[in-house]
Structure 1
Amino acid sequence: MSTRSGHPGTIEPLAVGVDIGGTNIRAAVVAPDSTVIDTIHAPTPHSVRSLEKAVAGAVRGLMARHDIAAVGLAVAGFLTKDRRALRFAPHLPWRGTAVGETMQRLLGVPVVVEHDANAAGWAEHRFGAGMGGENVVTLAIGTGIGVALLMSGEIYRGSHGVAPELGHLQVVPEGRACPCGKRGCLERYCSGTGLIDSAIELLANDPGLASPLARDLRGDPESVSGRRIMSAAQDGDVLAEATVSEFARWLGVGLAMVSDIYDPDLIVLGGGVGSAAPLFLDEAREHYAMMITGAGHRPLARIRRAQMGEDAAVIGAADLARAAVAREAGPR
């Protein structure tokens, strides 16, 4: 099965995008217009051979039902600049592995590997909130912070393929410990896990505070999630509102840092926490406008909410894989 493009007599191929997370694998058939046609889910195994078998099995299941020209893999980890090898992925067993070549041999079609944040950012650039931007930063705010930077429509990877890790810029010297090994990283204050830590700290500073969220934190702090805090803030919970305000302050810090470094014309906010943007974005914009270097004397980046949702990584990975095949084929 293929899909026609807007040009008479031409057929554009379908591609599969695969989002390989630490818990689940999601493979999807994606049309050239970004439509997700078919999807398969599978649990993520924790050995190299089992993981490769699971990814190949999910893709083959889709290939049995569709004519697939290419596969894009979206992975949270450090890739080499040429994307031929995965140096390290904190939640996956691959270490210094030529993932693309291995999966291409198993599947028999071209395979492209991309960082999951870059894949999501590419999807927003091509089909979503990033359309029309020249220099665009996409922040996916969830458990941590994933970042994609597009400069003049091209993904920026840095000299060694690992840029941009903006979530691990230190904003608080000797601050909260981060799984990356440093302390005080931005994502320890501006993320879903950061929300929980901020709520705990605010309650410790005001132990007499009375609210449903405060009661839950005292009784079973493990039961409180970033989503729970956002929901409580929407309901007017005083501790949750203070926590979200603290989050907005740190987001403003992050946006100012992003703008000081890259000077983007557009910033796209996505991820699980980003989906609650109406609760904190106006306040974050105020902090951003005050903290940016040259405040009041330079343009601010436009800030938009992401549009591609949970499909962003698979759509972007599939589109990048399709584009790679087209480049290899050359002009017709």
Structure 2
Amino acid sequence: MKKLFIDIGGTHLRGEIVSEEGSFRDTISSHEMGLLTYIDTQMALHPQIDFIGISYAGQVNKGVIAASPNINIDQYDIVAEIKSRYGIRSCIDNDLNCAVRAEASYWKSDSIAALFVGTGIGAAVIDEGKLVRGSHNMAYEIGHIPYRESPLHCGCGRSNCIELYASGSGMEKWLKYYGSEKPPYLESLKTSNTDEHTVATQFEEAFLYAAGVLVTLANPEILVIGGGVIDQNPYLVTLLREKLKDYALAPALEVLRIEMSVLENAPLEGAKLLEDDNG
């Protein structure tokens, strides 16, 4: 039999078919095709699939997508719909919940937090070996904590989310606001004109603030940093190691290790753990 594992974010949908013969991966734009349509396509190509694990960049609870600021949703009750159409089991969880599972396995830690920055910014925490979920599986939804009022609007509808400052989509919105056509690459923005430089410096400050809040509240032994923006700007890990003391409670830093993710795709690897770990 075959397994289908999916990681869907605000930019890409990445899928992997795994079977005894090996694995096959593909990547498409998450704007091209909805999650359910992608699953229908894969089930037609691979009718032997008997489990689907999904890492989703949005708020999900008990198999249902509640909201996703950066993804067009073509089916909310996704697990029930997969069961109805194909009679197979599936499991979906927030992408950072999946990522922190994979990171905990890699780092062999039962006290770990993940902070990933890509299209959005998200966090998740494992404490004493257990994923911290909250009452509706929305614990540590750090991208939407109030930060600063802005003339822009987040995908969630508000104008003061930290995601408007410390994310790829946030940088794109600010650059458009300032009339810049530059891509959101921090290193080039920092050496550019005043407005573009402002976008980069306010990103760094918001990123440090988010990390400080996460470390102060969760008090993990390991903080893992990852995501597309981090991969493109690894200097951010050094910046965090140097500056986090100005943003986090000092006792929370005493045993803290800050690591950059070395997994190729932690959310996708975490989706593979959903088959045996629904909690």
TM-score normalised by length of structure 2: 0.81
Choose the corresponding residue for 1:175, options 138, 150, 155.
150
For the pair 1:161 / 2:110, whether they are aligned, the reply is: no
Shift of 1:26: 2.7
Whole-angstrom distance in 1 between the partners of 2:141 and 2:72 = 18
State the match for 1:38 in structure 2: 24
Whole-angstrom distance in 2 between the partners of 1:279 and 1:298 = 20
For the pair 1:52 / 2:36, whether they are aligned, the reply is: yes
Secondary structure class of the residue paired with 1:163: coil
- Counterpart AA for 1:39: R
Choose the corresponding residue for 2:95, options 73, 97, 116.
116
1:265-316 deviations in Å (ceiling 9; x for gaps) = 11111111111343233333333112322x378515211111223x322221
Q: Is the 8 Å Cα contact of residues 27 and 39 (structure 1) preserved in structure 2?
A: yes
State the match for 1:250 in structure 2: 206
Shift of 1:115: 1.3
Tell me how large the CA RMSD over aligned residues is.
Answer: 3.4
Secondary structure class of the residue paired with 1:320: coil
Whole-angstrom distance in 2 between the partners of 1:22 and 1:191 = 11
For the pair 1:261 / 2:217, whether they are aligned, the reply is: yes
Choose the corresponding residue for 2:259, options 300, 304, 308.
304
Structure 2 unaligned blocks of 5 or more: none
For the pair 1:15 / 2:3, whether they are aligned, the reply is: yes
- Counterpart AA for 2:25: T
The percentage of counterpart residues that share the same residue type is 23
- Counterpart AA for 2:122: G
Q: Is the 8 Å Cα contact of residues 85 and 100 (structure 1) preserved in structure 2?
A: yes
Q: Is the 8 Å Cα contact of residues 24 and 42 (structure 1) preserved in structure 2?
A: yes
TM-score normalised by length of structure 1: 0.69
Task: Mark the CA change 1:247 to 1:25 in structure 2 (over 3 Å): closer, same or farther.
Answer: closer
- Counterpart AA for 1:26: R
For the pair 1:103 / 2:82, whether they are aligned, the reply is: yes
1:1-27 deviations in Å (ceiling 9; x for gaps) = 7xxxxxxxxxxxx63211234565432
- Counterpart AA for 2:223: I
Q: What are the equivalent positions in structure 2 for 1:90-239 lying under 5 Å apart?
A: 90=69, 91-94=71-74, 97-127=76-106, 131-172=107-148, 174-179=149-154, 180-195=156-171, 221=180, 223-227=181-185, 229-231=186-188
State the match for 1:8 in structure 2: none
- Counterpart AA for 1:137: A
- Counterpart AA for 1:28: E
* Larger fraction in helix: 1
Number of residue pairs aligned between Structure 1 and Structure 2:
275
Whole-angstrom distance in 2 between the partners of 1:44 and 1:242 = 29
Bigger Cα Rg: 1
